[in-house]
Amino acid sequence: MKLSGSVILLSMERMGASILDRAKDIVEFSVCAPGPGVSLLLKAGGRTEEIPMEQTDENLYRVRIRGRGPGLRYKYLLKGAAGGAFPDPYSNCQPEGVHGFSAVVDHGRYRWSDEDWPGIEWEKALLYELHPGTFSEKGTFAGISEKLDYLLELGINTVELLPLTETPGRWNWGYDGVNLFSVNHNYGAPDELKALIDRCHQKGLAVILDIVFNHFGPEGNYLAKFGPYFTDKYETPWGAAINFDGAGSAVVRRMVLDSVRHWVERYHFDGLRLDAVHAITDCSRPHILEEIAATARELERKLGRRIAIIAETDANDVRLIPPSAEGGYGLDAQWMDDFHHTVHTVLTGENKGYYQDYGRIEDLEKVYGNYLYTGEYSHFWKMERGTNAAAAPGSRFVVAIQTHDQVGNRARGERLSRLVDFPYLKAAAGLLFTAPYIPMLFMGEEYAEENPFLFFTDYQDPELKEAVVRGRREEFASFGWRDIPNPEDESTFMASRLTPRDRWHLHQRQLFNFYRDLIALRREHPALKMPDKDGTTVEADPGRRLVRITRSGGGKTVTALFNLGDSPRQRPPFTGAVIFNSEEPRYGGRDEAAKEAGDPEPTSGREETEPRRLLLPGQFLLIETPPE
């Protein structure tokens, strides 16, 4: 499909529906589409009206409407054999869902009150990943807003929202979204999202949006009608690859960069998490990821606040991080799956699927300073995998012990609370918050949520429904998992909602106290609060399954001791004060077992010099070492 002549004009045109004069309700509609013609189709009062659009360039059409502004419903009517009426590719709101009419949004109407917001301080970020539809009982932006004080009590300073663009049906993870500028109507209106972010900033919480630029959802995706948005040169696991480097790709790249600006400028997001960038193929220069990073830097200068761009990748590709002058793409950080996989397999013993490449406790020594796979052969991928990231600062990596992917992409969505005993949940958190990286929690982790987080969809197309169920079963063949819940059943979504706080069990309240106090230490202690790999050493004893992590910074040194085995072990010798003990009664500690081990009293803050005491299975101690 030819779209020549549009590239220069695209840089000057407003795309989608733009309010030019609020007082007179003048709205301009602009769309890039192939000929032979395009009309604006308006819907009001039970009837539709067709208005021809002026062709302003070979593939650009525009029209202005007076007297009808915000809320006006519209579609574009494409002429020709492959034509029809479709939602706006730049739609900001789809109140009737992915197949329905788009709605005009007045972004200038909302009155922000976050003028004094200083922006995200990335090096001190403590992330909390949540799904808007299952985090609260309401399943809406308003429901999230009502729980912000809970997150502040926990000690979180950065919220990460799973994708928000329009998806089919009543619920979805968000990664099947269409319309890169839309707000999922199941969660609320655009102004309600702004109100949530505004309130977060007022309370000192940064907000990051998870967004998908590697594919579009399979239902309601009409982009192919409007231009060469897809290519058959490459493949993705989820559908057609996006055309970032072929003929006509200028409109595609423009749309992605416009989307970055849209969420940061109009909604005041503090950053974006880019989903699965290893599935983005772009052989042109600059790479689209490099342009996204450059756009973020441009926005930083314009807005006077920091914008963080984080990539998810399973390729262990350090090239994402360095600036373009050093041959990189200039992103702020990336997820490090090797950290999760190492901790998870050490604690659970699982060895199916990609977990077959992990499971050695001594691997902890490497993943606290680098990827685990830095060019070694992967038995799962059947190839050499990874690059060397030893020189990259710790702030360039986000690590977690649970995420929506690693929980939800299990056949039955089991959280770690269903896979290991209670003491090891605390040990896992200790491993996370003593790591010299940016830590991230997945909603419910902090109190051992027992409900699963399952994969759920609500497609309207019967054939797609069947294909999703079948594909889900095939996906888990390598793990040997059976009896997979049907993603299309309503019960699958309902089972994935968090348990309200007033229905927590005692051990869940105790674990929340543990997380709250440990996060406070992470935020405040000079040796822990900065993600400094240079001040970190790790020693693992495979035979006794003991781990020692030492962190130094700000003139202080702390040592974390872990017993990851299933038997009590004598503590390694140390001198200093125990400032945190996972076995204290307020954290659900094993009182009787502690007495038998010779530790009848809480140990926090107590000076100890004798090595005879025992570490219980799963116990985690944090010791502040006196200066030399």
The percent of residues above 90 in pLDDT, for the chain, comes to 83
CATH number of the domain that residue 502 is part of = 3.20.20.80
118 torsion bin: left (phi>0), alpha (psi -120 to 50), beta (else): alpha
Domain boundary among 518, 551, 586: 518
Query: In which band, very low, low, confident or very high, does the pLDDT at 3 lie, cut at 50, 70 and 90?
Result: very low
Give the pLDDT of residue 607: 55
| Same-domain check for residues 75 and 156 | no
- Residue 2 maps to a domain: no
**Pair 475, 533 in one domain:** no
> Is 272 among the domain residues?
yes
**In sequence order, which residues have a C-beta less than 8 Å from that of residue 187 and are 6 or more positions away?**
132, 133, 139, 140, 141, 164, 193
* pLDDT score of 12 more than 70: no
Asked if 483 is an active-site residue, the reply is no
What's the pLDDT band for 596 if we cut at 50, 70, 90? very low
Residue 199 and residue 241 in one domain: yes
Return the CATH number at 541.
2.60.40.1180
Is 425 among the domain residues? Answer: yes
Asked if residue 113 is part of any domain, the answer here is: no
Is position 606 within any domain?
A: yes
* 270 token code pair: 């503090």
Catalytic: which of 176, 290, 312, 405?
Answer: 312
Which of 275, 290, 488, 599 is an active site residue?
275
Q: What's residue 590's pLDDT? A: 84
Query: Residue 477: its pLDDT value, please?
Result: 66
Q: Which of the residue ranges 133-137, 415-419, 467-471 would you say has the lowest mean pLDDT?
A: 467-471
Number of domains in the chain: 3
54 and 158 fall within a common domain: no
Give yes or no: residues 320 and 468 share one domain.
Answer: yes
Q: State residue 108's pLDDT score.
A: 93
Judge whether 466 lies within some domain: yes
DSSP state of 337: H
Contacts of 159 (CB under 8 A, 6+ apart): 127, 128, 130, 144, 151, 200, 205, 206, 207, 208
Judge if 386 and 493 occupy the same domain. Answer: yes
Residue 256 has pLDDT above 90, yes or no: yes
pTM of the model: 0.94
Q: How far, in Å, CA of 129 to CA of 444, rounded?
A: 10
- SS3 call for 200: helix
Q: Which of 518, 546, 573 is the last residue of a domain?
A: 518
Mean pLDDT confidence for 559-568:
97
Mean predicted confidence (pLDDT) in 134-161: 98
Q: Is 114 part of a structural domain of the chain? A: no
Q: Could you give the CA distance from residue 234 to residue 117 in angstroms, rounded to a whole number?
A: 42
Is the pLDDT confidence value at 7 over 70?
no
Residue 117 belongs to some domain of the structure: no
CATH number for the domain that contains residue 23: 2.60.40.10
Give the helix, strand, coil percentages of the chain, each rounded to 5: 30, 25, 50
Residue 608 has what pLDDT? 52
d(CA 358, CA 571): 26
CA distance to 105, 107, 137, 139, 169, per residue, from 189 (Å): 10, 12, 18, 13, 16
* Pure H helices in 1-160: 7-10, 141-145, 148-154
Mean pLDDT estimate for the chain: 92
* In a shared domain, residues 479 and 538: no
By the 8 A CB rule, do 284 and 306 touch? no
Q: Are residues 186 and 93 in the same domain?
A: no
Same domain, 484 and 533: no
* Amino acid identity, position 375: G
Based on the domain organization, do 412 and 555 belong to the same domain? no
The answer to whether residue 312 is catalytic is yes
Give me the domain span that covers residue 600.
527-625
For residues 51 and 200, state if they share a domain. Answer: no
Question: In whole angstroms, what is the distance from residue 76 CA to residue 33 CA?
Answer: 10
The answer to whether residues 202 and 339 belong to one domain is: yes
What pLDDT, on a 0 to 100 scale, did the predictor assign at position 605? 58
pLDDT of residue 301: 96
